[in-house]
Amino acid sequence: MADKEVFDFLIVGAGCAGASGAMYATRLNLKAVMVAELPGGLITTTHLVENWPGIKSITGPDLASSLVDHALSFGVPLKNERVTEIVNANLNPPEGSQSGFIVKTAGNEYLAKTVLIATGTKHRKLGAPGEKEFENKGVSYCALCDGAFYKGKVVCVVGGGDSAAKEALVLSEHASKVYIIVRRDVLRAEPVNADRVKANGKIEVLFNTQIEEILGSDKVEKIHLKGGNEMAMDGVFMAIGHDALSALAGPLGVDLNDKKEIKINRRAETNVPGVYAAGDVTDTEFKQAITGSAEAVTAAFFAFDYIGKNKVVF
Amino acid sequence: MADKEVFDFLIVGAGCAGASGAMYATRLNLKAVMVAELPGGLITTTHLVENWPGIKSITGPDLASSLVDHALSFGVPLKNERVTEIVNANLNPPEGSQSGFIVKTAGNEYLAKTVLIATGTKHRKLGAPGEKEFENKGVSYCALCDGAFYKGKVVCVVGGGDSAAKEALVLSEHASKVYIIVRRDVLRAEPVNADRVKANGKIEVLFNTQIEEILGSDKVEKIHLKGGNEMAMDGVFMAIGHDALSALAGPLGVDLNDKKEIKINRRAETNVPGVYAAGDVTDTEFKQAITGSAEAVTAAFFAFDYIGKNKVVF
């Protein structure tokens, strides 16, 4: 493999974290590349971001673009491919050296001295009958993406956290009525968003309520609730959390916590030398765009430090 | 003290970290206040910032303004005062409760349930004879602030790190000649900045060199080097590092490391309940504007969490 291009720092993902790490890598003269299925990441499905420090209000897609463009303009290439596997390049590195990595996609293999896993999360499924059948036919995971299809309609958001509140607020700009269906007796939203929900005449919160089944013919028409009630419904938006996209980490021997999030330290190092993680895929407790970005910046620095101190072989 | 205003989250400092934490506090409906001697913080002395994710190039003062304005526009007041002391408000809080804090300035006392120390750092002094005598008469700690006074003159920067390289680059826009005086045999600058120094015809790096004394009449005229050499010099810029402004932390019982930086965990918590720290004053190894900002955002969240879980008494 001696004649194949070797990257210093390969970033899996190009969301807020990945793009920030890529940009910083250029400040350290690292040869970096982003390999990402969804450039911009999950924040591209967010309506308005008001809490990126220094920017009072920006759309999710615009924030993502500014971060990705920063990395691109500083010379980091972006490969729009899904990484399927990461393996050690050398199973028996000579004493005193470390193995590099082979990062595989459907059509390519990349060699990298260090890897940053910034793959983020995916929306969690409710698992109710009808959910899969009606996906994109009334069942959605993104109010920003699909909300406009429900002008004047009745919709519900399933979930009891801040995401549910924000999704409901977005939907209230289109729908005639928005229910938030909360399993427990409390809506744990950011207080500003909880206040906005309360003040919004279109939104009604139903506590201690769960969906039993989603029903319709060629699209969603109603929901059955546990306990027997039925509600006419044109759209069902799921906001019940996210699952870490950490499947690449396990086979490398990277430690995960019980939520399958990648365990990192304050250097954004995992337990495997040369493998870093940042952003929503990690075990950071309070995950925000800005915290993921900072983790990736930190990872770039410690990858730079690692490459300076270690001989990496393939 | 029952009738005195109580803040949920008092931020000492309004630099990148402090302002970001203040802004986030409003997202959590915390009653916050910034108390800061130098609004904007030390980044206001930086010429160009190219590594704040999402912004390809911005001046230090403009970046600082955007962060402070974000907090102000979301309703956090800024008190332009120097905090002199922070003490526990109640030395014997009842079982199951926590003491709040009294934050003192020259003219005021503020009550706060939680405190974020985001006081940053100050420029380190060289300690050479003449340094103090000629401060602001040829001795400076900020190329951006004072560089323009040296148009066509010969200046030197003392230091061997990235700050020294950046200070020299700024000075090269004004001075006719810029020496970087490096004690050891290597310039440990960010590689992009090291390259820029090399490519800059006005800048010359002197390795294994130390200033013995700074001399002049009413302003700096020359420097004596260790070993006996003498150089004519119009300005001497110090870039030999920073000292954490952590003096407020010690008396509160907050743990410091051997560099007198405040020890924090991934929640930006110190060892003292209700006291958080973020930014350059902490023991974070790779300190950048973005990492300090993320730490302060994290602190705001865990302060919110703490206030929800604890009864705080005064």
Q: Could you read off the pLDDT of B81-102 as tens digits, one per residue?
A: 999 999 999 999 999 999 999 9
- Are B36 and B118 spatial neighbours (Cβ–Cβ below 8 Å)? no
The closest of A75, A18, A89, A57 to B27, measured between CA atoms, is A57
Q: What is the pLDDT of residue B169?
A: 93
Domain boundaries, chain B: 6-122+242-313, 125-238
Distance CA A91, CA B14 (A): 50
Do the domains at A6-122+242-313 and A125-238 have one common CATH topology?
yes
Choose, from B146, B234, B280, B283, the residue flagged as catalytic. Answer: B146
Q: Which residues of A171-191 are buried (b: 16+ CB within 10 A; e: fewer)?
A: bbebbebbbbbbeeeebebbe
Within 8 A of B302 by CB-CB distance, chain A residues are 286
pLDDT for the residue A182? 98
Cβ–Cβ pairs < 8 A, chains A and B: 113
Burial code (b: 16+ CB inside 10 Å, e: under 16) for B270-279 equals bebebbbbbb
Q: Tell me the per-residue pLDDT of B183-194, one tens digit each, with 9 for 90 and over.
A: 999 999 989 899
The whole-number pLDDT of residue B71 equals: 98
Contact check, Cβ <8 Å, B295/A295: no
How many Cβ atoms are within 10 Å of A142's Cβ, its own excluded? 18
B51 neighbourhood in chain A, CB within 8 Å: 23-24, 27, 297
- The whole-angstrom distance between residue B17's C-alpha and the CA centroid of its chain comes to 10
- CB-based contact A286 B298, cutoff 8 Å: yes
Handedness of CA B197, B203, B204, B208 (dihedral sign): negative
Is the CB of residue B309 less than 8 Å away from at least one CB of chain A?
no
pLDDT tens digits, B230-254: 999 999 999 998 999 999 999 999 9
Q: Report the residue of B23, B74, B266 to disrupt the A interface, i.e. the one with the largest count of A CBs within 10 Å.
A: B266
Q: What are the tokens at B261?
A: 């930086």
φ, ψ dihedrals at B25, nearest 5°: -55, -35
- Contact between residue B51 and residue B30 where contact means Cβ atoms under 8 Å apart: no
Q: Answer whether B290 sits within 8 Å of A294, measured CB to CB.
A: yes
Confidence (pLDDT) at B25? 94
CA distance B232 to chain A (A): 34
Cα atoms found within 13 Å of the Cα of residue B41, Cβ hemisphere only: 34
Distance of CA A265 to the CA centre of its chain: 20
- Which residue in the list A8, A16, A62, A146 is annotated as catalytic? A146
Distance from CA of B56 to the nearest CA of A (A): 6
Q: Residues B8, B16, B142, B280: which is the catalytic one?
A: B142
Which residues of chain A make contact with B297, given a CB cutoff of 8 A? 51, 53, 286, 288, 290-291
Residues of chain A short of pLDDT 70, as ranges, are 1-2
In this structure, is the dihedral angle defined by the CA atoms of residues B67, B72, B74 and B75, taken in order, positive or negative?
A: positive
pLDDT band at residue B142, thresholds of 50, 70 and 90?
confident
Q: Does A309 touch chain B (CB under 8 A)?
A: no
Closest of B242, B251, B4, B27 to residue B117, by C-alpha: B251
The DSSP code for A56 is S
Contact B81, B89 (CB under 8 A): no
Of A27, A70, A295, the CB nearest to B192: A27
Judging contacts by C-beta atoms under 8 Å, the chain B residues touching residue A23 are 51, 53
Among A residues 229-248, those touching chain B with beta carbons less than 8 Å apart: none
* pTM to 2 decimal places: 0.88
Please determine, for residue B2, whether its predicted confidence score (pLDDT) is greater than 70: no
Residue B156: active-site member: no
Q: Are B274 and B268 in contact (CB under 8 A)?
A: no
Report the residue of chain B nearest A287, measured CA to CA: B298
Amino acid at the residue A33: V
pLDDT, one tens digit per residue, over A39-63 is: 999 999 887 888 999 999 999 999 9
B12 and B36 Cβ atoms separated by less than 8 Å:
yes
Task: State how far the Cα of B263 lies from the Cα of A6, in Å rounded to an integer.
Answer: 38
Flag if A192 and B29 touch (Cβ within 8 Å).
Answer: yes
Q: Which CATH superfamily is domain B6-122+242-313 in?
A: FAD/NAD(P)-binding domain (3.50.50.60)
| Residue B191, helix vs strand vs coil | helix
- The residue among B42, B35, B53, B33 whose CA lies nearest residue B15 is B42
Q: What is the CATH number of domain B125-238?
A: 3.50.50.60
Q: Is B123 buried (19+), middle (13-18) or exposed (0-12) by CB count in 10 A?
A: middle
pLDDT score for B170: 87
| Total Cβ atoms within 10 A of residue B239 | 26
Which of left, alpha, beta for B74 (phi over 0: left; psi -120 to 50: alpha)?
alpha
CA distances from A82 to A11, A242, A247 (A): 12, 19, 12
Residues of chain A with pLDDT > 70, as a percent, come to 99
pLDDT recorded at residue B28: 85
Residue A258 annotated as catalytic: no
| Residue B280 a catalytic site member | no
Please indicate whether, in this complex, the C-beta atoms of A290 and B290 are within 8 angstroms of each other: yes
Asked if B191 is an interface residue toward chain A (Cβ–Cβ < 8 A), one would say yes
Q: Which residue of A has its CA nearest to B303?
A: A286
Q: How far apart are CA B177 and CA B306, in angstroms?
A: 55
Find, in chain A, the residue whose alpha carbon is nearest to that of B68: A54
Burial call A109-120: b when 16+ CB within 10 Å, e when fewer: ebbbbbbbbbbb
Q: What pLDDT sits at residue B27?
A: 86
H or E stretch including B164? Answer: helix B162-171
Q: Which amino acid is at A85?
A: E
The C-alpha atoms of residue B93 and residue A14 are separated, in whole angstroms, by: 49
